[in-house]
Structure 1
Amino acid sequence: MIYLDYQATTPLAPEALAAMLPWLESQHANPHSAHAPGRAAKAAVEVARDQVAALLPSGGRVTFTSGATEALNWAIKGTRGGIVTIATEHAAVLDTVEALAREGRQVTILPVGSDGLVDLDRAREAIMPGTGLVAAMLVNNEIGVIQPIAELARLAHGAGAQFLCDAVQGYGRLAIPGGCDMIAISAHKIHGPKGIGALWLRDGVTPEPLLHGGGQEVGGRSGTLSPALCAGFGAAAKLARERFEEDHAHVDRLFARALDRMAGWTLNGSRARRYRGNLNLCLPGLDVARLMSELRDIAFSAGSACASGSGRPSHVLRAIGLGDAEARASIRLGFGRYTSEEELMTALDRIDDAARAQRSAA
């Protein structure tokens, strides 16, 4: 199997697994207990917290959550006032603000251009006094486009609003710009375990709790933490920090080779302002479902894993101006640390050959 779906999830790093195993096999104490085993578990959680925080801005604290969806819901629902966000955001943001709009919150959804980037002039017009929160994704999960986060944060603060950054696809891969008030991240996008994420809160920022109970976590988040998941997240973050330059250079090389290899396909989204571990490509007339069926030993995607099975064209591709037919003829290829150049080139050749055979037969 050649795995090219890094935006959906990444392979678990061996170092992360090794960090988790003791807490799964023999060290089962609750990290919120006062006895010696509980204190040992708590110490492991705090080590992990520091490791995760090392890839985030200074002047804030990391609150562990069940994942980025919880973190985003907490950040959005825990603030007041109008909300401004972008049409290409993840469903965890768009569906949450839609639910709040039904309750009477003022919500503005900013459009993007054909390159997937928000128009800062439109953002400036929309972000005004009375806005309580501006939410934007650092790296888009479908097309890899990098939004101007620092500029949007400045606009938010100029209007007296807080700024939430969905950094799920960028954390550990790009430097996260300063100016954010809240940052949502997820372990399984950086070779950590599924089932754990975090919300970084700038000092002084305290959204209303989403979950009520024991208030065990920083910021008042309730629920018993898993030392195993925390340890795995921390180890993955530590590794991402140590390998940051190496991983970045590897992805750059793969992107350049892949783009050359797929001549004749159209790249969706900005070429210049994108994370290069994402290649979203369109070939008009392509039947993606058939292509995936024919190439079952290559794992790639027709779009966001979170929206798979919905039958609807990608809202991200439609937002950048693609029609339904073009959106349905697009594929997403995600690669990274553990992708070899040889396996990527093999997969691309097979994808290209199968796609062109489809078109010839038609």
Structure 2
Amino acid sequence: MIYLDYQATTPLAPEARAAMLRWLAGPDEGAGDPGGFANPSSTHKAGRAAAAAVEVARDQVAALLPRGGRLFFTSGATEALNWALFRGAEAMPGGVAGLSIEHAASLQCLERLNAAILPVGADGVALPPDPALIPENGIVAAMLVNNEVGTIQPVADFADAAHAKHSLLLCDAVQAYGRVAIPDGADLIALSAHKIHGPKGIGALWVRDGVDLPPFMVGGAQELGMRSGTVSPALCAGFGAAAALAAERFDADAAHAERLWSLAMDMLPEWTLNGSAERRYHGNLNIRREGVNGLRLMSDARDIAFSLGSACGSGSGKVSHVLRAMGVAEADARASIRLGWGRYTSEQALRDGLNAIKAAARLQGVN
């Protein structure tokens, strides 16, 4: 199978896997090795070693974020976003606003909080902040890179607008982290390890110094007293190693994504791009073709892994809320597909995958 669904998840980096194995091992009493399985909250030697590994990982993940904040590990970005919005709304009771194209993990929180929904243009980029929609002493949610169409949002503008009204800016940086620079203006930043070649089951919430965010989970006061639950040193180590690798390969990965983008553009001149070509991350290609049924295309090109949009909603049968927010007609939305590539995608694999997709389109009478 050719994997072109990097927005859904990324392959685990060998370096991340190697970093995890040490903290999954049991004791080898004959060699005097206690292994790495200990609880990092324990005060004995093995527990302290596990705790130290968590802190190394924390520093590695935080190195790609603005200075002047604290990083808390979570079970994933969904938990981080729920924490930031629900507990943030308690601390900042003036109201909530968020972009119409936010991931469902944010959007469903926004709906429950009766948030003001901020519009985007036909290019998938948020319109300039309307002060009338920005709450006073509240929270504004603005993702950095959209997960479905790859457009880069003017987060710094929304941070300025939020701060002008004494509100906080929450940035969903899941698709941006390790790929594009994170702006300095955010007060809360949500991350996910498995989008940067780390393991599933772990994410993080970065909280700017001075922001008083109540805990989301209570019980054992782990994670600096802010997020109870036993921390997994193995997952933290995998996240940290993936982050360190992303920092090391930042320029090389970006250049590789650009080469693959150019190849795809050359091979798909008949397809229409959804969203801005300039204000986007070029490892995400969301396209449509008149006469194509995207769902059938996936079935006919079953040896190619791609999607119709967010992995969380691909099986629902509903038209993408992102494309709807951009004003894309329903027929065009159903003719749209999302392709994603990255570090481990070869040019030949992309070429073969695109040829297979084009062949599947021809089965629908589209040349």
Q: Give the alignment's TM-score, normalised by structure 1.
A: 0.96
Does the 8 A contact of 1:156 with 1:162 survive in 2?
Answer: yes
Return the alpha-carbon distance in structure 2 between the equivalents of residues 22 and 286 of structure 1. Answer: 48
**Shift, 1:309, TM fit:** 1.5
Matches within 5 A, 1:1-362: 1-26=1-26, 27-79=36-88, 80-101=93-114, 107-120=115-128, 122-128=129-135, 130-218=136-224, 220-360=226-366
Does the 8 A contact of 1:206 with 1:219 survive in 2?
Answer: no
What secondary structure does 1:351 align onto? helix
What secondary structure does 2:181 align onto? coil
Residue in 1 aligned with 2:31?
Answer: none
Question: Residue by residue, what CA displacement relative to the aligned partner does 1:41-62 show, whole Å, maximum 9, x if unpaired?
Answer: 0000000000000000000111
Residue in 1 aligned with 2:30?
Answer: none
What secondary structure does 2:358 align onto? helix
> 215-224 or 303-312, which moves further after superposition?
215-224
Return the alpha-carbon distance in structure 2 between the equivalents of residues 44 and 138 of structure 1. Answer: 29
Q: Give the AA of the match of 1:274.
A: R
**Shift, 1:325, TM fit:** 1.1
Q: Give the alignment's TM-score, normalised by structure 2.
A: 0.94
Question: Residue by residue, what CA displacement relative to the aligned partner does 1:107-156 show, whole Å, maximum 9, x if unpaired?
Answer: 10011110011111x5333114x240000110000000000011110110
The root-mean-square deviation of aligned C-alpha atoms, in Å, is 1.2
Question: Residue by residue, what CA displacement relative to the aligned partner does 1:64-98 show, whole Å, maximum 9, x if unpaired?
Answer: 00000000000001123211101100001110111
Return the alpha-carbon distance in structure 2 between the equivalents of residues 219 and 74 of structure 1. Answer: 14
Return the alpha-carbon distance in structure 2 between the equivalents of residues 219 and 131 of structure 1. Answer: 25
**Shift, 1:324, TM fit:** 1.4
Count of residue pairs brought into register by the alignment: 354
Does the 8 A contact of 1:77 with 1:208 survive in 2?
Answer: no
What secondary structure does 2:113 align onto? helix
Distance 1:331 1:360, change over 3 A: closer
**Shift, 1:209, TM fit:** 1.6
Return the alpha-carbon distance in structure 2 between the equivalents of residues 147 and 137 of structure 1. Answer: 7
Return the alpha-carbon distance in structure 2 between the equivalents of residues 94 and 64 of structure 1. Answer: 22
Distance 1:110 1:203, change over 3 A: same
Q: Give the AA of the match of 1:287.
A: N
What secondary structure does 2:96 align onto? strand
Which segments of 5 or more consecutive residues in structure 2 lack a partner in the other structure?
27-35
Return the alpha-carbon distance in structure 1 between the equivalents of residues 305 and 39 of structure 2. Answer: 38
Does the 8 A contact of 2:297 with 2:360 survive in 1?
Answer: yes
Return the alpha-carbon distance in structure 1 between the equivalents of residues 224 and 180 of structure 2. Answer: 25
Question: Residue by residue, what CA displacement relative to the aligned partner does 1:224-282 show, whole Å, maximum 9, x if unpaired?
Answer: 10000000000000000000000000001110111111011000001000000000000
> 89-98 or 205-214, which moves further after superposition?
205-214
Does the 8 A contact of 2:292 with 2:366 survive in 1?
Answer: no
Return the alpha-carbon distance in structure 2 between the equivalents of residues 123 and 35 of structure 1. Answer: 55
